[in-house]
Amino acid sequence: MRIHPTPDDLIELTASWTGDRFPDGRPRVPDDVLDKIRLATTEQAWAVLLREGYERQFAGGWRQTHPGTILVGRAVTAAFLPHRPDFDEAVVRAGAREGHLEADRQNSWIIQTLQPGDVMVTDIFGKVKEGTVVGDNLSTAVAARTGVGAVIDGGIRDYQGIVELGGGVNFFFRDVDPTPIRNVTLAGINIPIRIGEATVLPGDVVLGTPSGVIFIPAHLAAKVAEVSEEIRIRDVFGKLRLAHGVYTSAEIDVPTWAPHIEADFQQWRKESR
């Protein structure tokens, strides 16, 4: 068995992505696309995914360490299972073969793989007591390596220390508990996982907002960036014309503008460039 899939495994798993990849095979969505998605709302991203047939990519009901900080990055996925002795022994042996020597710190194995712009996305089946994937020390390591943060479908500890982290990071999590992580075993890193109702693959673009977290398949990230940018520009135009009394809300707040409004928008957009 393996803790980390091979590059060929990851390429096959994310075959819809045809762009650059990390050496481990994970999709590498360009930084400029991430920058544009950072300006998108959850609803804008959700609308694009819905049209593409991806109906279950959103998970809500989170607490955050830094509310108001938008979380955007490339997913590094990991999952834990309830502890079972024989399985844990197999994982420890596999981890040792792959260079992980601290058998009792399997949560740190994930952190060792993180790179700038990554989001650590961890499924620990909603466990909070004894499901605290990071405390202030490990969250500091996550922040230092990624500059972004994490999504943890489970618990954290040392909340007061984590909220003191700067640098624009944010950690989404279910709740806080003082207990350390225990009685779980790491099932794998960069494998398909479940977060709420969403299936998350390594390399997905993670967008965390005040609404919740949406996981954008890598091959749809550029489309989400493009569509959300178009919507923002149209919103600026619409509100400008409404403020000046040029059009009514009934004319602007419709899926498709009348031809004369669309022509006005295109002319305004051309002059604004």
| CA distances from residue 246 to 137, 240, 243, 267, 270 in whole angstroms, order as listed | 56, 9, 8, 15, 19
Pairing relation of β-strands 212-216 and 58-59? antiparallel
Look up tokens 């981890």; give the residue.
95
Is 31 annotated in a binding site? The answer is no
Is 68 annotated in a binding site? The answer is no
Is 157 annotated in a binding site? The answer is yes
DSSP 5: -
Look up tokens 């502890």; give the residue.
83
Query: Alpha helix (H) ranges present in the chain?
Result: 7-13, 31-37, 42-51, 85-97, 106-111, 136-146, 159-162, 221-243, 249-252, 259-272
3-state secondary structure of 221: helix
Q: How many CB atoms lie within 10 A of CB 266?
A: 11
Is 137 annotated in a binding site? The answer is yes
For residue 57, give both structure tokens: 């990519």
What is the Cα–Cα distance from 62 to 126, expressed in whole angstroms? Answer: 11
Question: Which residues are documented as binding site?
Answer: 135-138, 157-158
Question: Which residues are documented as binding site for substrate?
Answer: 135-138, 157
Question: Which residues are documented as binding site for Mg(2+)?
Answer: 158
